[in-house]
Structures are given as C-alpha cells and as structure tokens.
Amino acid sequence: MQDALNAQINAEFWSAYLYLSMGMHFEAEGRTGIANWFRIQFKEEQAHAEIFMNYLNSRGGRVELKAIEEVPTHWASPLEAFEQTLAHEEKVTSLINNLYALAEAEHDYATRGKLDWFVSEQVEEEETAKNLIDRLKLIGDNGLALYMLDQELATRTYTVPAPLAAAGE
C-alpha cells in the first residue's frame, strides 16, 4: 500500500506539473484567465500530493519522492488543453479506484476511508473539465465569446482542499 501511495504522490505532482505547463502556455498566449485557471489547478494538485504525504507520515510510513516525468509544453487551442485535462483526470480516477481496490484487498480500511474524499473529488474534476469542453465547443472560433470565457476564468480563486484545511495547513 505504501508503494502504491508513493506512486500516487508522484502522479499528483505530475498532474500539478502538467497544469502548471498549461498555465505557462496560456500566459504566453495572452489568455491570462485560462492561465489563472490552470495555475489554480496546479496548486490543487500539489495539495492532493500533500494530503497523501501527510497521511503516509501520520501512519508512520516513508514518503519517497521520485523524478517527475516531462510534460507537454504546447497546445493548439484551449479546447485541446481541456480535452487533455479531461483525459488525464479520467486516468487519475482509475488510479484512485485502483488504490481503493488495493486498500480493500489488504483490509486497510483507514486508507480506504482516506480515499473517499478523492473519489468525490475526481467526480468534480471530470465534471468541471467536461463543462468547459462543452462551452469551448459552443464558442468555436468566436473571439468575443472566448474573450468572455477567459475573463470568467480569471476570477477563479484557490481554496485549500478540505482534508488540508481540516489539518490546519
């Protein structure tokens, strides 16, 4: 279970790195609202890694930080970036489900309980990405509509995820 959780910590940091890269890309493209949305996504993913690291420490485990693999650096359009976001989150959902199954198989009910929050979080992540994809498809090549979405995404602010907020971090 510890090895699997360490692998998940690495996956969360890879997600963080992916979204940071998207943020930097859209910053360079002048889409500062979309860039803001991805920068916050980056912070959220770091927080996910922290939740797992705190949990491993609380159980007397060892956190082992491994190399983070390279991430893409260019996207043809906001739609392409959000489509990759959805595909990636679907993959993360399957990783969380695998951890859940492993925790059950090992009768590790504490870890299973810890994973419950992540199961719900993944539903939200997928729903948010799907919603933005739908809207970007409607927008098509309408520059004004894309400008308005960019303005809207500029207003997103970071909220400390509940399990970290509860730990007072």
Binding site for Mg ion (CB under 5 A): 12, 45, 48
Is residue 126 a contact partner of residue 90, using CB atoms and an 8 Å limit? yes
Q: How far apart are CB 94 and Mg ion at their closest, in Å?
A: 13
Residue 39 vs 48, nearer CB to Mg ion: 48
Q: How far apart are CB 66 and Mg ion at their closest, in Å?
A: 17
- The residue with tokens 């510890």 is 2
Is residue 78 a contact partner of residue 138, using CB atoms and an 8 Å limit? no
Residue 29 vs 126, nearer CB to Mg ion: 126
Determine the Cα–Cα distance for residues 138 and 141; give it in Å rounded to an integer. Answer: 9
Residue 47 vs 146, nearer CB to Mg ion: 47
Q: How far apart are CB 24 and Mg ion at their closest, in Å?
A: 19
Q: How far apart are CB 8 and Mg ion at their closest, in Å?
A: 9
Q: For residue 133, what are its two tokens? A: 């994809």
Q: Which helix (H) or strand (E) holds 54?
A: helix 32-58
How many residues are recorded in the chain?
Answer: 169
Determine the Cα–Cα distance for residues 25 and 21; give it in Å rounded to an integer. Answer: 6
Residue 36 vs 41, nearer CB to Mg ion: 41
Q: How far apart are CB 145 and Mg ion at their closest, in Å?
A: 29
Residue 45 vs 83, nearer CB to Mg ion: 45
Residue nearest to Mg ion (CB): 48
Determine the Cα–Cα distance for residues 155 and 21; give it in Å rounded to an integer. Answer: 20
